[in-house]
Amino acid sequence: MTPAEKLATLQAWEAHVKAISAVYEADRLACGALIESPRWEAVYGLLSAHTMMVAQAIAPSDATTKDVAEWLDWWQEMDFGAKAGRAGFPGREMREIRTLEDLLWIIEVRP
């Protein structure tokens, strides 16, 4: 997969995650839906499986799917770049990760 294809895959994944989160929030506000409900557990279970498939698809040959999935989870925790997140390597200056391009960089070049 080329870098451009990986970036497009990340963009589609992020759009799906954001859309599902928005629908959940609307459902929660409208009728008090709980994330622990069977319906939302199923939805988020599928999203988790989708995240693992994306991680597998974009993982560099020397990285594990689990390692890449952890970066994708971290990206969600950083609110898709809205929160300041920094990453880097021991002995080097940390780099701010604010865009999907930055995220793909750390996925590709991590030790």
Q: What pLDDT does 91 receive?
A: 81
> Do 58 and 6 form a contact (C-beta atoms < 8 A)?
yes
Give the pLDDT band of residue 9 (cuts 50, 70, 90): very high
| Average pLDDT, integer, range 65-72 | 96
Mapped onto helix, strand or coil, the DSSP state of residue 86 is strand
CA 70 to chain centroid, in Å, comes to 8
| Average pLDDT, integer, range 61-65 | 93
Please state, rounded to an integer, the average pLDDT across all residues of the chain. 92
**pTM score, two decimals?**
0.88
Give the pLDDT band of residue 109 (cuts 50, 70, 90): confident
Taking phi over 0 as left and psi of -120 to 50 as alpha, with beta for the rest, 54 belongs to alpha
| Average pLDDT, integer, range 37-49 | 91
Dihedral angle computed from the Cα positions of residues 98, 100, 44 and 23, in that order, rounded to the nearest 10 degrees: 80
What percent of the chain is predicted at pLDDT more than 70?
99
